[in-house]
Amino acid sequence: MWTSLLRVQPVWLIVTLSLILFLLPRAVLGDVTIRSQTNLYEIGGGTAEELIKEMAEKGPLDAPGATRHWARTNWRISWQYRYAYRGQTCVMTAVWTELDLEFIYPLWTRKTGASAHLKSSWGAMMRELEAHEQGHADMAIDMVEEIDRTLEAMESDISCERLNADARRFGQAKLAELRQQDIDYDRETRHGATTIPPLRD
């Protein structure tokens, strides 16, 4: 079984409230930053059975003390914004959103001496494993862009306090939505088993 469960980090909202009582033009918005890194764990099996066993023993955990899996994608979405009054309406004047992605994959260190068929099987497995994990990443990228677009357009005719509260509720709801998307994706793909070929000697 393969899985790619997200690890949710706290989202910090850094908000600067500027009470400006004259007409304030909107600032240029839409600053989205996406960072990605790949971490590898080493395995040294010489047969398909040994490789599977080592990945089961050394693969990333989906939670502390829980099951290990062959690969995993972690994401963290955070955002900051500033707002101010524009006449009687409170509007966003600056928005920054960030997405940090972490991919964790196995690194086979004993390919030398392995059969050509096993090497080919490993390559095919890794291509599909990476494609499955990229599916998780793509959903996170779509979500961070949606969060950024929506925050940019938010405003309140009531108060800046209301705008801040609305923005917080929206962001948290979107994070919950993304978590559910990950769960649904893994359920529909059986954690990648529908596309990832089995390892064979």
Instruction: Dump pLDDT digits (tens) for 144-198.
Output: 999 999 999 999 999 999 999 999 999 999 999 999 999 999 999 998 999 999 9
pLDDT of residue 30: 56
In a domain, 161, yes or no: yes
pLDDT of residue 64: 67
Q: How far apart are CA 131 and CA 137, in angstroms?
A: 10
For 108, the token pair is: 């086979």
In a domain, 199, yes or no: no
**Domain boundaries, position 147:** 13-189
Q: How far apart are CA 85 and CA 99, in angstroms?
A: 28
pLDDT of residue 2: 31
DSSP β-bridge partners for residue 43: 108
Name the nearest CA neighbour of 173 among 201, 141, 151.
151
Q: Provide the domain count of the chain.
A: 1
Burial class (CB in 10 A: 0-12, 13-18, 19+), 32: middle
In a domain, 4, yes or no: no
In a domain, 2, yes or no: no
pLDDT of residue 51: 97
pTM for this prediction:
0.81
Write out residues in the chain with pLDDT < 50, as ranges: 1-29
